């Protein structure tokens, strides 16, 4: 659980009058938290003026518009915004990609293919652990940022294959 999720769990417990142990935490799924009464929360960190949403998250938010998205900033024990998932989906589907003054950044599905020798892969693993010791709920974003930095530092090239369509065209 990252620091934002820890703050969210503490805030949810306080607001809903629960013990933190009573709140179900989904480390790798949406929503992040489920209460005994079925209330669901997804936690997002506000990067300057934007939140990042991934395809799997959007899929769940579309199916379950009653989920509440809690938006946190650094050094805040409480969310700065609580947004109904239905409002996020409405903003995205309308093409606005804004909720009030927050940009809703949707990350398209992509594959990143990098081939590294074993010793370089181990060096990269060490580099990621040193540079990002707390990790992130958005592991793919953290990994991509670390990989970009590492490859640039080591002088390697990377190859991105975006979407299934591009991947399929290489098979032909």
pLDDT in tens, 87-101: 999 999 888 888 998
pLDDT of res. 170: 40
At 39 the three-state DSSP class reads: coil
Residue 47 has pLDDT above 80, yes or no: yes
pLDDT of res. 159: 45
Residue 134 has pLDDT above 50, yes or no: yes
pLDDT of res. 168: 39
Residue 1 has pLDDT above 90, yes or no: no
Residue 48 has pLDDT above 60, yes or no: yes
Which H helix or E strand runs over 32?
A: none
pLDDT of res. 105: 85
Mean pLDDT of 30-38: 94
* Of 33, 38, 4, 39, residue with least CA distance to 21: 33
Separation of alpha carbons 109 and 24, rounded Å: 27
Percent of the chain surpassing pLDDT 70 = 69
Structure confidence at residue 118 as a pLDDT band (50, 70, 90): confident
Which H helix or E strand runs over 7?
A: helix 3-16
Question: pTM above the 0.85 mark?
Answer: no
Mean pLDDT of the chain: 79
pLDDT of res. 123: 79
Place of tokens 């820890």: 6
DSSP string, 103-171: EEEEPPPEEEE----HHHHHHHHHHHHHH-TT--S-HHHHHHHHHHHHHHHHT---EEEEHHHHHHHHH
Residue 70 has pLDDT above 50, yes or no: yes
């Amino acid at each position: 659980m990252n620091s934002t999720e820890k703050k969210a769990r503490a805030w949810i417990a306080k607001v809903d009058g629960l013990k933190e142990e009573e709140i179900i935490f989904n480390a790798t799924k949406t929503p992040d938290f489920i209460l005994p009464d079925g209330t669901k929360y997804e936690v997002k960190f506000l990067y300057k003026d934007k939140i990042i949403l991934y395809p799997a998250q959007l899929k769940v938010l579309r199916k379950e518009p009653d989920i509440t998205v809690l938006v946190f900033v650094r050094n805040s024990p409480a969310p700065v915004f609580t947004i109904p998932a239905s409002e996020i989906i409405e903003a995205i589907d309308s093409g606005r990609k804004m909720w009030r003054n927050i940009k809703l950044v949707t990350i398209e599905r992509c594959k990143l293919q990098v081939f590294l020798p074993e010793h370089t892969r181990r060096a990269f693993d060490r580099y990621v652990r040193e540079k990002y010791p707390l990790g992130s709920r958005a592991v793919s974003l953290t990994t991509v940022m670390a990989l970009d930095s590492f490859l640039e530092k080591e002088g390697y090239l990377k190859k991105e294959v975006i979407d299934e369509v591009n991947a399929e065209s290489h098979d032909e």
